[in-house]
Amino acid sequence: MSETVLITSDLNNNGGTPGVEERIDWSDLYNSFKVNFQLNTSYEISFTATYTDQYKDAFNMLKMKRYIYYHGQFYTIQQLENGFDEYGLPTMQVTANALLIDKMKNVRIDPKQPTEDNPDTSGNSSSDSGDSGDPQPGVVVKRTDEQQTYSLQNRLDQFFNNNDQGIKYELHGNFPNVAVDCTGSLYEWLGQNLSLFGAYYVPYNYVLKIYDIDSLSHPTDKQFRYLNNVTSINFQSDGNDMYNDFDVYGGKMEKDITTAGSGGTGNGVTEPVNGNWEPVMQNAASLVGENLSANDIANINNRIRIESSGREDVVNNWDSNAAAGHPSKGLLQFIDSTFNYYCRPPYTNIMKGLDQLIAMMNIPNWRQQISGSGGWSPHGAPIGYYSSTIKQCLGMAVSVCWRRFIYKRSTLWGATGRWLPDKRLS
């Protein structure tokens, strides 16, 4: 770690006193500074600062949403955790994301809401049958083979044109046309749809740089050698995205099923049934749009067993977190600051198992993060800050389509230093 890292007085809402900068203690950076870059997922830095007389001004400037300057880029502070070192000096654990992440969450395309002057109507009001025009139970089958496709530039322009965040984008490479809509925040849209274009994004201050794989990968002319220019090597293999069988369907059809009742949010289960948390897991998954496999359920049950033995009211009053004044709590043993970072309104009660499960599913790569037999430490930018009640069924049409299988190829860091996605060397 040889780079200078500065804390600035600027805020991501343009508040604060502009132009004030303080350097972070180099010894703190040498001992704790980490860079976590994962394509299309996470672009964050973290470190632990210590309060000393020489660097007290920098320490006191560490506030939520202030900017950190590192290697030519600005990062926005997202997490702060107070503590003390072995000498009793106050410490602050800091996690900051690329500033563009917050900006992209503020750029949204939401469906137009009906008003009294512009109501949302459907059906034929002049029907001779005399019915009310409300959807009736039944099935309508229609062809969906021909879909409108769009270029990546067209889709991005829907978000970026006349945006109020002052951000822009660059395209590097060639991308196919894809049938995809533009809804929600730009950040969520990229996470859900960018891979369909075979694209990868890299934030650079106010510019979103998007590459195809040929434009992204490049030779570094460096060799990484253990105990020469790297201190540790970690190779990981992940078979979750590998497929051996593929089913191809021709002439796909879409079936619209109109239900007769008034649906709800999820299955409504908020407490375990005879000690079984699976119904609550399924409720949380339905609320946030997740689909749980048998392995997912077993994985969550294992994490619940390790953390709380299935008790949503348990508070850990004996470990280092408790000694620092922020004990871990509840079903998955979040501390308050971490839970508040990942929870999604209105599910904000840390002592409710359902709320903790929803917060867990708001963590990027949560399946990997909760796996294993040891403790866990949630990290990464939340998938979304907005209400989880958006996944509702209000007696409207539910679309059912054949599943589409997409071949995914895992790639590794090359021994000669060729940068490729999905795997990384640390």
DSSP 83-144: EE-TTS-EEEEEEEEEHHHHHHHH-EE-PPPP-SSS----S-TT-TT----PPPSEEEEEE-
Kindly state the tokens that stand for 19.
């132009």
Cα-based distances in Å from 32 to 65, 91, 118, 279, 288? 20, 12, 56, 41, 34
Looking at the predicted structure, is the pLDDT value of residue 123 above 70? no
Q: How confident is the model at residue 147 (pLDDT cuts 50, 70, 90)?
A: confident
Q: Which of 7-21, 102-116, 342-356, 385-399 has the highest mean pLDDT?
A: 342-356
Closest CA to 193 of 40, 342, 44, 385: 40
Question: Is the backbone of residue 173 left (phi > 0), alpha (psi -120 to 50) or beta?
Answer: left
Closest CA to 90 of 47, 46, 49, 51: 51
Distance from C-alpha of 410 to C-alpha of 228, rounded to nearest angstrom: 27
Average pLDDT, the chain: 80
Q: How confident is the model at residue 414 (pLDDT cuts 50, 70, 90)?
A: very low
What's residue 233's pLDDT? 80
Distance from C-alpha of 313 to C-alpha of 330, rounded to nearest angstrom: 5
Q: Does 324 or 244 have the greater pLDDT score?
A: 324
Buried b (16+ CB within 10 A) or exposed e, 370-388: beeeeebebbbbbbbbeeb
Q: How confident is the model at residue 176 (pLDDT cuts 50, 70, 90)?
A: very high
Pairing mode of beta strands 42-50, 34-38: antiparallel
Distance from C-alpha of 27 to C-alpha of 31, rounded to nearest angstrom: 6
pLDDT tens digits for 306-335? 999 999 999 999 888 888 899 999 999 999
How many CB atoms within 10 Å of residue 279?
16
Contact 342, 382 (CB under 8 A): yes
Distance from C-alpha of 304 to C-alpha of 307, rounded to nearest angstrom: 5
Cα-based distances in Å from 345 to 44, 349, 390? 24, 9, 11
What's residue 8's pLDDT? 85
pLDDT tens digits for 183-229? 999 999 999 999 999 999 999 999 999 999 999 988 888 887 888 88
Looking at the whole model, is its pTM more than 0.85? no
Cα-based distances in Å from 332 to 47, 82, 195, 204, 360? 25, 21, 31, 35, 8
Mean pLDDT of 77-103: 94
Closest CA to 275 of 248, 306, 312: 312
Mean pLDDT of 84-109: 94
What's residue 219's pLDDT? 84
Length of the chain: 426
pLDDT tens digits for 245-262? 777 766 656 555 433 323
Contact 288, 358 (CB under 8 A): yes
**Strand arrangement of the beta sheet that strand 253-258 belongs to:** 138-143, 253-258, 397-400
Q: Does 375 or 368 have the greater pLDDT score?
A: 368
What's residue 165's pLDDT? 93
What's residue 132's pLDDT? 46
What's residue 157's pLDDT? 96
Task: Write the DSSP symbol of residue 332.
Answer: T
Burial class (CB in 10 A: 0-12, 13-18, 19+), 157: middle
Mean pLDDT of 139-144: 56
Q: Which of 110-124, 128-142, 335-349 has the highest mean pLDDT?
A: 335-349
